[in-house]
Amino acid sequence: MPEGTMNSAILEMKNITKQFPRVLANHDISITLKKGEILGLLGENGAGKSTLMNVLYGLYKPTSGEIILEGEKQEFHSPRDAIRVGLGMVHQHFMLVETLTVTENIILGNEPGRGGLIDYKEARKEVKALSEKYHLEVDPDAKIESISVGLQQRVEILKALYRQAKVLILDEPTAVLTPQEVDELFEVIQELRKSGVSIIIITHKLEEIKEIADRVYILRRGELVGERLTKDVTQADLANLMVGRDVVLTVTKEAKKITAEPIFIIENLVIKNEKGINAVDGLSLTVRPGEVVGIAGVDGNGQTELAHAVRGIQEVNSGRILFKDEEITHYSTKKMIQNKMGFVPADRQRYGLILPMRISENIVIGYHDREPYVRGINLNLPKISQDSEVLVKNFDIRTPSVDIPAGNLSGGNQQKVILAREFSRNPEFLLVSQPTRGLDVGAIEYIHSQILAMRDKNVAILLISLELEEIFSLSDRILVLYEGKIVKEFDPEKTNDKEVGYYMTGGEKEGAAV
């Protein structure tokens, strides 16, 4: 908890207002960061927290308001100015050059040496010293592409420290990490605080705020709605402040006994990726009607290949996929759609939606070549609009019209467009991958309840998610995916995230298969 040194403010943002065309992203926000403090910035997506931090980091110029660092008024024209006075930011998406080494990435833009020459020896030494000083162990000679996401994040933090950051801003730092990596990150953050760095964490995850932050500001719709000491506040209070109404933190699913025979079966599936390695390596599973089977796993263990194979957009090397006693392993996507198999892809902007096309077109796609949406070769545009409007209403997609491009919608509403399309077609099987990635609490709650509604309609659902919490709150059975295989099956009632996380990272790899 706070030490004696942290009474003086190191950073103040006073009355910050940021007006974008049509949108007031920040309205009169004042926050203070004390020296050596871990400050949380909590809010839903679109609440304005990233805008506020981008103002602080010099990416945006505020419409009005001022930034005071160590008693001096600052004016940032670009991140360069912010970095120079001691601000560092680790973005949600890392800004690293994959093919360069850790050292090269850290010194990039600030290379030691004279003239055009870089003193690599010196650089390596500095990086090494830095990582020892802050206990951020990382191999200075490793290539970025060969290290894990958690280590990449350390490199980002080291990069900021190398530039002598006194204030470190972390934007959604845990979004890409496994539970174990989150724990390690939090240790690192504590370590940094001890050596005098002040830290701001942007997040929409309540339990993280509770765990790591000393104090938290809550933003909603561009306004500051509260400031709390985390020791005095409950997660439920924070959620209510953040959303502005009472939220159900985890959807409650009714326990039910599923006795039906499996409708969807995968047997010994093998899929080679582009490098010729078995991304999916002898995977078997079953899903019964009315059951949600959750696949937990760290990203890159075959989730994408599995999902794409089930949609018919990825070649299968061996093994079988069965649906309703019919082998569908090599069916075309079109046939999968005809078989009433729905698909919610993990990368919704790449595989789910055609962003420049209209919402109505995105809703009809897949069914655009069948009655009643087409007559002969002519699209039945009035019918397409009419049905889309009904779905927009039913799925609470917030848009003025179905004729605007899907790309104009927020992430949550984009995902609802996909749900509207896939869930309205009376599916018998659904593959749902990462349904709430990057979405805010309100949208997550809605999407989870929709998925459970489909479960109660007796749909067989295969859920792939990197969020353990999601897996736990939706699944009837949990399968752990590691290196292309199911290594363990759990009953969600009889396990916990630590145990699942252990298997996700390769614990008891051998002999643990179901």
Q: Is 184 exposed, middle or buried (0-12, 13-18, 19+ CB in 10 A)?
A: middle
Of the candidate residues 130, 270, 355, 512, the single one contacting another protein (CB under 8 A): 355
How many residues sit in the footprint of another protein (CB under 8 A)? 58
| CB closer to another protein, 171 vs 470 | 171
Cis peptide before 372 (omega within 30 of 0): yes
Identify which of residues 322 and 374 has a Cβ nearer to another protein in the complex.
374
Binding test (CB under 8 A) with another protein, winner from 404, 453, 513, 514: 404
Would the CA dihedral through 468, 471, 477, 482 be positive or negative? negative
Is 512 an interacting residue with respect to another protein (CB under 8 A)? no
The DSSP symbol for 358 reads B
* Whole-number Å distance between alpha carbons of 439 and 447: 10
Residue 92 near another protein by CB under 8 A: yes
Please select the residue that binds another protein; options are 177, 263, 409, 468, rule is CB under 8 A: 409
Q: Which residues pair with 379 in a beta bridge?
A: 374
Q: Which is nearer to another protein, 208 or 422 (by Cβ)?
A: 422
Cβ contacts of 36 within 8 Å, gap of 6 or more: 2, 3, 5, 6, 193, 196, 197, 198
| Residue 171 sits in the site that holds another protein (CB under 8 A) | yes
Told to check if 410 binds another protein by CB under 8 A, we report yes
* Residue 57 within binding range of another protein, rule CB under 8 A: no
Give residues 414-443 in contact with another protein (rule: CB under 8 A): 438
Binding-site member from 337, 346, 430, 447 for another protein (CB under 8 A): 337
Among 2, 226, 262, 411, binds another protein (CB under 8 A): 411
Q: Per CB under 8 A, does 50 bind another protein?
A: yes
Which SS3 state, helix, strand or coil, does residue 81 take? helix
CA torsion, ordered 485, 489, 495, 498, to nearest 10 deg: -10
Residue among 399, 441, 442, 438 at smallest CA distance from 420: 399
Nearer to another protein, 194 or 334 (CB): 334
Q: ∠ CA(416), CA(18), CA(50), 5° rounding?
A: 50
CB 225 within 8 A of CB 218: yes
Binding another protein (rule: CB under 8 A), the pick from 45, 74, 339, 458 is 45
Taking only Cα atoms into account, the Rg of the chain, rounded to an integer number of angstroms, comes to 25
Give the shortest CB-355-to-another protein separation in angstroms: 7
Residues numbered 93 to 152 that lie near another protein (CB under 8 A) are 93
Which of 113, 300, 356, 372 is the binder for another protein (CB under 8 A)? 356
Minimum CB separation of residue 381 from another protein in Å reads 7
> Quick one: which of 94, 120, 351, 502 contacts another protein (CB under 8 A)?
351
- Judged by CB under 8 A, which stretch of 116-124, 250-258, 337-345, 494-502 contacts another protein? 337-345
In the chain, the largest separation of any two C-alpha atoms, in whole Å, equals: 77
Smallest gap from Cβ 470 to another protein, in A, equals 20
Nearer to another protein, 53 or 136 (CB): 53
Residue 348, burial from CB neighbour count under 10 angstroms (0-12, 13-18, 19+):
buried
Question: Does residue 79 bind another protein (CB under 8 A)?
Answer: no
What separation, in Å, do the N-terminal and C-terminal C-alpha atoms of the chain show?
44
Q: Please report how close the Cβ of residue 229 comes to another protein at its closest, in angstroms.
A: 26
Three state DSSP letters for 91-140: CCCCCCCCCCEHHHHHHCCCCCCCCCCCCHHHHHHHHHHHHHHCCCCCCC
Q: Which of 98, 137, 211, 369 binds another protein (CB under 8 A)?
A: 369
DSSP secondary structure, 361-426, as one string: HHHHTTSTTSTTTEETTEE-HHHHHHHHHHHHHHTT---S-TTSBGGGS-HHHHHHHHHHHHHTT-
Minimum separation from the CB atom of position 431 to another protein (A): 11
Contact positions toward another protein, by CB under 8 A? 20, 22-23, 25, 45-51, 54, 91-93, 171, 221-222, 311-313, 332-337, 343, 345, 350-357, 361, 365-366, 368-369, 374, 377-379, 381, 398-400, 404, 407-411, 413, 438
